[in-house]
């Protein structure tokens, strides 16, 4: 499934970014907002933002969005740390 969001040209022109960065920035802002509202998991939000874990975590930090860090996340981190 794919979704297209029609954004009026006047709105696109009003965004104060170089044209080549608009789409990327919109994906990142949308992903961060959906994650913040607990509508997307961290993994799916970073996929939407087209970023790796580290980059998306930094984006959330810059936007002062707290990580939803549950038991599964702790176990994943512990498993990763034990492999090092």
Q: What are the pLDDT tens digits along the chain (84 aa)? A: 888 989 999 999 999 999 999 999 999 999 999 999 999 999 999 999 999 999 999 999 999 999 988 787 788 888 888 986
Encoded tokens for 16: 């104060």
pTM for the whole structure: 0.78
d(CA 80, CA 28): 26
Encoded tokens for 33: 């907002």
Half-sphere exposure of 35 (CA within 13 A, CB side): 27
Residue 56 contacts residue 68 (beta carbons within 8 Å):
no
Angle in degrees, 0-180, between the axes of helices 53-62 and 42-49, rounded to the nearest 10? 90
């Amino acid at each position: 499934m794919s979704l297209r969001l029609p954004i009026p040209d006047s709105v696109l022109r009003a965004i104060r970014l170089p044209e080549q960065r608009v789409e990327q920035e919109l994906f990142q802002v949308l992903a961060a907002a959906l994650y913040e509202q607990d509508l997307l998991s961290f993994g799916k939000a970073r996929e939407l933002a087209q970023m790796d874990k580290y980059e998306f975590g930094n984006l959330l930090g810059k936007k002062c969005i707290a990580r939803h860090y549950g038991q599964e996340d702790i176990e994943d981190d512990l498993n990763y740390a034990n492999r090092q």
